Amino acid sequence: MLKQRELQVFLDQMRVAMQVDFVGVAQNVALSGMPKDIRWVAVSGNLGEDYQTIRLRIGHGIAGLVWRTGRTICENNIQSQPGRLIDYPIARVEKLDQVIAYPLLIHQQVKAVLLIGNRTGNFETSNRSLPYMGQLEQSIEYNEVKKWVAGR
């Protein structure tokens, strides 16, 4: 099983390789039998430690929405939408303007959410373009993060 430090290394490598500003993994940290408590368990490219105070429930925040739907969510121009800043606390505290959040599925169940974001620019038009999900799933870093999630 991978250690937290190893997950951090993979997230750092992913952020650099993809040329994005932020990469994070949100996961349920609640004890078995308790209501889900989704937290950002590891991040790379963070501006501070405020992300650690974010607590989400299923269906709330971008990670909670991805958890509920099991689908990828992509949002642009978040900073210019006050409602989105309220809905997406990770975008607010990390000043992210574009995010894409992927469900990490183990046996067809969401076990974590991988969020990739930029503070400026646009995923589709910047030179820091984000790979499509198929390309991301083939990356070594993505698969190492998924292994870490599966081992928890």
pLDDT (0 to 100) of residue 129: 42
Q: In what order do the strands lie in the sheet with 22-28?
A: 38-44, 22-28, 109-118, 98-106, 73-75
pLDDT category of residue 117 using cuts at 50, 70 and 90: very high
Please tell me the pTM assigned to this model: 0.81
Place of tokens 């993994």: 25
pLDDT (0 to 100) of residue 140: 59
As a whole-number percent, the residues of the chain with pLDDT over 70 amount to 80
Q: Is the pLDDT of residue 25 over 60?
A: yes
Instruction: Kindly report the CATH class assigned to 4-150.
Output: alpha beta
Pick from 105-109, 113-117, 134-138: least confident: 134-138
Mean pLDDT of the chain: 81
pLDDT category of residue 62 using cuts at 50, 70 and 90: very high
Longest dimension (CA), the chain: 45
Question: What amino acid occupies position 48?
Answer: G
pLDDT (0 to 100) of residue 69: 93
Domain segments of the chain: what residues?
A: 4-150
DSSP letter at 41 equals: E
